[in-house]
Amino acid sequence: MVDLISKELNELMNKQIVEELQSAYIYLGMAAWAIEKGLKGLANFMKTHAEKEEYKHAMKFTHYIQETGGKVKFDTVESVATEYENVEELLVAAIKHEEYITNKIKELMDLATTKNEYYAFDLLNWFIQEQIEEENLFTDLYNSFLLSGKMLGVWDQHIKHPE
Ligand SMILES: [Fe+2]
Ligand SMILES: [Fe+2]
């Protein structure tokens, strides 16, 4: 059995699996709110993001732990908001959440660096780059909303998640 992961990095990656699934859950909560408001474009965007991005992120960490001989632990995902004041509040929350996740990835990178776990660098570098995309994705969505003059119907019809 390979043994290429430290206990500490294993633990932090297990926590990150939860963060990624929590992210999926948060975006599904946003999609649920958007559906209630008739904002189908926004709902699809958030649902696609949860399924195609966040779930995939959780699986990448899961796979890495298993490949390096670690032990996967699936901890508890918390309940999330399905209520928002308005679209602006929701979009700002999404940007803030991605900033939070970027910091979590940096913590993983810090730990892997301290422990000289070079094997983890490829994966974590991929996530560092991914976070640039994720932060830009939600920032662009927010900016497009502002540029539309907050014309909800028109804006909603033109939203598309890059797949
Ligand atoms: Fe993610
Ligand atoms: Fe994300």
Nearest ligand to the CA of 54 is 1
Helices then strands, each counted (H, E), the chain: 6, 0
Q: Is residue 63 part of a domain?
A: yes
Q: Which residues are within 5 Å of ligand 1 (an ion), measured at CB?
A: 20, 54, 57
* Residue at 67 is within a domain: yes
Q: pLDDT, tens digit, for every residue of 136-161? A: 999 999 999 999 999 999 999 999 99
From the CA of 39, how far away is ligand 2's center (Å)?
21
pLDDT grade for 163, boundaries at 50, 70 and 90: confident
CATH number at residue 134: 1.20.1260.10
Q: What is the pLDDT of residue 144?
A: 97
Instruction: Give dist(CA 158, CA 49) in Å, integer.
Output: 16
The answer to whether residue 163 sits within a structural domain is: no
Mean pLDDT across the chain: 97
How many whole angstroms from 34 Cα to the centroid of ligand 2? Answer: 18
- Domain membership flag for residue 15: yes
**Distance, CA of 98 to CA of 1 (rounded, Å):** 35
Q: In this structure, which ligand is nearest to the CA of 56?
A: 1
Give the model confidence (pLDDT) of 73-84 as tens digits.
999 999 999 999
125 contacts: CB under 8 Å, gap ≥ 6: 109
Cα 92 from chain centroid (whole Å) = 14
Q: Is 143 inside a domain boundary?
A: yes
Give 81 Cα–ligand 1 centroid separation in angstroms.
18
> Is 93 a domain residue?
yes
Identify the domain containing residue 130 by its residue range: 7-157
Q: 125 alpha carbon to ligand 1 midpoint, in Å?
A: 13
Q: How many CA atoms lie within 13 A of 67 on its CB side?
A: 10
Q: CB–CB of 74/18 below 8 Å? A: yes
Ligand number, closest to the Cα atom of 126: 1
Q: Is 78 helix (H, G, I), strand (E, B) or coil?
A: coil
Would you state the pLDDT for residue 41?
Answer: 98
| Contacts of residue 63, Cβ cutoff 8 Å, sequence gap at least 6 | none
Amino acid of residue 157: Q
Q: 111 is written with which tokens?
A: 């730990």
Query: For residue 1, is it within any domain?
Result: no
Ligand with the closest atom to the CA of 98: 2
Cβ neighbours for 67, distance < 8 A, ≥ 6 positions apart = 2
CA of residue 42 to ligand 2 center, whole Å: 16
Q: What is the total count of domains within the chain? A: 1
| Cα 23 to middle of ligand 1, angstroms | 7
- The backbone torsions φ and ψ at residue 84, rounded to the nearest 5 degrees and listed phi first, read -140, 150
